[in-house]
Amino acid sequence: MPRSYLDPPRPIVALATPPGASALALIRCSGPGSLELLAGLFSRPAALRGARTSSLVHGFLVDPGLEGGGARVDEVLVAVYRGPAGPTGEDAFDLSCHGSSAVVRRALSLLERYGFAPALPGEFSFRAFSNGKLDLPRAEAVAELVSARSEAARAAALDRLAGGLSRRLSGARASLLGLLAQIELRLDYGEDEVEEALDPSLVLGLRDELAALASSFKAGRLVSEGLRLVLAGAPNVGQSSLLNLLLREERSIVSPEAGTTRDWIEAEIEVAGQRLRLIDTAGLRETAARIEALGVERSQALVAEAELVVFLADGTAPLPEPGQIPRKDAILVWNKVDLLPGQDAPPGWIPVSAVDGRGLPDLVSALEKAIAGRLEEAGGPGGPREILITSERQKALLEQGLAQLDGVLDSLQAGEGLDVLALGLREAAASLGELTGEITTPEILEAIFSGFCVGK
């Protein structure tokens, strides 16, 4: 039978670093009895048994089934954690060994042979959650921090891991439960007088708090997934050359022949700490060639969907008509200025040379401004101190809580009984409890943690 997160905890093991050759590899283990199991496989068992939590012990990992020098698997450094103080709340250790696949394979097979089960994805975080070390938003932040691909995504995830979101959610839930307690007290005394039972401004304040968090979802997603930036323009204006310049590598094919780029090409850069997904497209033109026409159709769709568009024109050719510019908010680039010495760019166009890099700083600052604008429109400046939510689960539960509080406000206005108000408040508190993980079901937990990577 495959193991489940909900089985009684047993010692587990996983490689926390990527497989392959590296200077060091980190093997994590956790579970009741795990330190004692390791003592049987370690050159200095007494040192390990006497080690305090969060201390390091140096020694050799030893295969007790073998004799002499061949028994040594590797020279290792063990970080010891004793439950409940450690990161998972149980006895646990991190073992640093040399990073070759030969060492890692031997070490893992030894640990598995002597009682450690291979960890499920996210099982270490699951145990930290189960043992009260992390609530759900913080456990989710661990997964986001592991997959953060830009400075802004890292900062936002770290802020959630530090408890920024959790504090706001617990604060809102505590206020809700406080209001509920007052109403229930009145109900216990047989009162059903709605007058002054519940101050609507308190409910409104909580409602606004949930609305503010829910509305940060779009910005949170943009920060974690990156903003799409489409390079568009007529064929041969230098879209692929500009992509290569921004990437500082020859990724997209450049040629003097118009219609070189057919399918779109995507690559990533970071601007102002934000991840930008650069997309080079087939030049926009009417064409009878079927494959190129399909490419142009795709370009148009990409231009429509992208958060940012850079529209290029060839400075040596007539300027495009305003009607040819596919989006009003496009950043306009007047390319090939190296061929136009002494000529000023038309108003509103940034002069650039995709060949020698002239004008690149101006383009980058225009991009920075546009990124800030898009994030603001999406509901958040995206600064590191701003809480941004990124998970669909969190968004859905916040919106559910929001709707329940709207229901309470409606009931208040309609003069409904205290029992109706109490019910609405209780439901909203339950939504927040599900968000933080204070109220949850095994199925939900399994779904959340199985999306993590192994070793986390």
Q: Select from 28, 107, 389, 344 the least CA-distant residue to 222.
A: 389
Q: Which of residues 259-298 bind Mg ion (CB under 5 A)?
A: 260-261
Which member of 354, 405, 418, 429 binds ligand GTP (CB under 6 A)?
354
Encoded one letter per residue, x for contact with Mg ion by CB under 5 A and - for no contact, window 233-252 reads -------x------------
- Tell me which DSSP letter residue 120 carries: P
Residue 92 and residue 209: Cα distance in Å, rounded?
38
The residue with tokens 């200077």 is 23
Rounded distance between C-alpha atoms, residue 102 and residue 60, angstroms: 16
Which helix (H) or strand (E) element contains residue 95? strand 92-99
User: 442: cis peptide before it, omega within 30°?
Assistant: no
For ligand GTP, the closer of residues 122 and 238 by Cβ is: 238
Q: Contact, 231 vs 278, CB < 8 A?
A: yes
Of 2, 69, 256, 322, the one binding ligand GTP (CB under 6 A) is 256
**CB of 366 vs ligand GTP, minimal distance in Å:** 17
Stretch in the footprint of ligand GTP (CB under 6 A) among 77-85, 89-97, 138-146, 336-344 = 336-344
Total residues contacting ligand GTP by CB under 6 A comes to: 24
Encoded one letter per residue, x for contact with Mg ion by CB under 5 A and - for no contact, window 76-105 reads: ------------------------------
**Which CB sits closer to Mg ion, 136 or 242?**
242
- 259 binds, options ligand GTP, Mg ion, none, Cβ within 5 to 8 A by partner type: ligand GTP
Out of 101, 255, 343, 365, the residue judged to bind ligand GTP by CB under 6 A: 255
Instruction: Choose between 354 and 428: whose C-beta lies nearer to Mg ion.
Output: 354
Q: Which is nearer to ligand GTP, 67 or 257 (CB)?
A: 257
Residues of this chain, 285-314, that bind ligand GTP according to CB under 6 A: none
CB 311 within 8 A of CB 328: no
Eight-class DSSP state of 96: E
DSSP string, 188-215: HTT----TTTS-HHHHHHHHHHHHHHHH
Of 202-210, 350-358, 382-390, 437-445, which part binds ligand GTP (CB under 6 A)? 350-358
Identity of the residue, 240 or 411, whose beta carbon is nearer to Mg ion in the bound complex: 240
310 closest CA partner among 209, 253, 238 = 238
On the 0-12 / 13-18 / 19+ scale of CB atoms within 10 A, 143 is: buried
Residues 214-243, interacting with ligand GTP (CB under 6 A): 233, 235-241
Indicate the residue among 237 and 331 with the shorter CB distance to Mg ion.
237
Dihedral (C-alpha) 312, 318, 323, 328: value to the nearest 10 degrees?
30
Q: Give the residue among 273, 254, 269, 246 at the shortest CA–CA distance from 359.
A: 246
Which lies closer to Mg ion via its Cβ, residue 220 or residue 320?
320
164-188 vs 151-161: helix crossing angle, rounded to 10: 40
Tokens of 292: 């190129």
Q: Which stretch binds Mg ion (CB under 5 A): 131-139, 164-172, 255-263, 386-394?
A: 255-263
Residue ranges binding ligand GTP (CB under 6 A): 233, 235-241, 254-256, 258-261, 282-283, 335-336, 338-339, 353-355
Residue ranges binding Mg ion (CB under 5 A): 240, 260-261
